[in-house]
Amino acid sequence: MTISDESAAPRTGDAGIDYFIDCPTGTVEYYFGSPTFQWSDELFRIHGYERGDIVPTLELGLAHIEPVDRDRIQAFWDRVSTTKGPASAYASLRSVDGRVHKILMSADLILDGDTPVGVWGLVVDLTRSIHADRHQLANEAVAASTVSRAVIEQAKGILMSRHGINALEAFQRISSYSQNANRKVVIVAQDIIDLAHHLHRGTSRTGFDSEHELLKLLTTD
């Protein structure tokens, strides 16, 4: 099963409605005493097969689970196939094409009256959702970094203009103040921009305890 960036990312339709992220979901049923499992078509596809390619068994299913998770999934199966369901487990599954899928399995007993006769389960492939979340987080991090860089560059420019210093010296002043005041560099840079704006307009700036020290950074060498 191929997972592309286009299919992983949320899309917006013509009407402005956000489309949900399609997480492939398969089902499984097993009846005690049977040598085989009943997989849905989607569960075959999650594993990289089509119906008729293989005969689903517990051994085959476990073989597709990554070795680091295999004992835990065996314990999960042992637990849910007794009277201790329902239960859920998270694991990595490697499909026949070598791709690793992050799956969530939920299962419970099938009852005939009060008698357990088998197990049913739901397998949700979370890979697309996780990929989309990481993609969004990465984009947000890049955007935040770009904004922070712009703020720092603007503050450096103010110090360079006021004191006739170079970019490195300007950044060293900001960094030194940041360490002494225990404030992030980008926050100090924004304070420099704000204070310079107020000085230019001839207005006072309130709400900043260290304004006097920051003012010296702006007005003295």
Is 100 part of any domain?
A: yes
What range does the domain containing 180 cover? Answer: 132-219
In a shared domain, residues 95 and 168? no
In a shared domain, residues 75 and 152? no
CA neighbor of 25 nearest in space, from 113, 126, 108: 126
Is 16 part of any domain?
A: no
In a shared domain, residues 140 and 215? yes
Question: What secondary structure letter does DSSP report for 69?
Answer: H
Q: Give the pLDDT score at 14.
A: 43
Is 11 part of any domain?
A: no
CA neighbor of 42 nearest in space, from 26, 22, 21, 30: 26
d(C-alpha 28, C-alpha 123), whole Å: 8
In a shared domain, residues 109 and 144? no
What are the phi and psi torsion angles at 145 (to 5°)?
-65, -40
Query: To 5 degrees, how large is the angle CA 144–CA 198–CA 194?
Result: 15
Question: Residue 62 sits in a domain of what CATH number?
Answer: 3.30.450.20
Q: Give the pLDDT score at 86.
A: 82
Question: At residue 125, what is the residue type?
Answer: D
Task: List, in sequence order, the alpha helices (H) in the chain.
Answer: 5-8, 41-47, 58-64, 67-80, 127-163, 167-181, 185-201, 211-219
Which residue numbers in the chain have pLDDT < 50?
A: 1-19, 205-210
Is 8 part of any domain?
A: no
In a shared domain, residues 73 and 144? no
- Tell me the two tokens of residue 203: 């207005």
How many domains, in total, are found in the chain?
Answer: 2
Is 19 part of any domain?
A: no
Q: Give the pLDDT score at 82.
A: 85
Q: Is 196 exposed, middle or buried (0-12, 13-18, 19+ CB in 10 A)?
A: buried
Q: Give the pLDDT score at 45.
A: 92
d(C-alpha 153, C-alpha 159), whole Å: 10
In a shared domain, residues 114 and 43? yes
Distances (CA, A) of 135 to 10, 67, 141, 144: 10, 27, 10, 14
Which pTM does this prediction carry? 0.55
- Tell me the two tokens of residue 163: 């004191």
In a shared domain, residues 136 and 100? no
